[in-house]
Amino acid sequence: MGAEGEEIYWKYLLDTRPCISKAAYICIRKNEIHPGAGLLYGEQEKWRGNDETAGKCPYSIYHVRRYLILLLMQENSWDRLPYLIYLLKDDSLREYRDKLLGALSVRSLYARVDRKQAAFIKQVLTEEAKKAIDMQIHAAEKSIYRIRVIHGYNGGTRIRSMLREEYGYGREPAVKRIEMGDNQGITELVLREF
Instruction: Please give the single-letter amino acid code of residue 99.
Output: K
DSSP bridge partners of 148: 188
Q: What is the mean pLDDT of residues 94-100?
A: 88
Please give the span between the terminal C-alpha atoms of the chain, in angstroms, as a whole number. 67
Q: What is the DSSP letter of 192?
A: P
Residue 61's pLDDT is 64
What does the pLDDT read at residue 25?
92
User: How many other C-beta atoms are found inside a 10 Å radius of the C-beta of residue 175?
Assistant: 20
pLDDT of 76 above 80: yes
Q: How far apart are CA 30 and CA 26, in angstroms?
A: 6
Q: How far is 81 from 67, CA to CA, in rounded Å?
A: 18
Tell me the H-state helices in 57-172: 60-72, 77-88, 97-105, 115-139, 157-167
Q: pLDDT band for position 158 (50/70/90)?
A: confident
Q: Which of 93, 114, 115, 116 is nearest to 104 (CA)?
A: 93
For 100-140, how does the pLDDT look when each residue is reduced to its tens digit (9 = 90+)? 888 888 888 888 888 999 899 889 988 988 888 888 887 77
Q: Taking residues 28-39, what's their average pLDDT?
A: 90
- pLDDT class of 174 with cuts at 50, 70, 90: confident
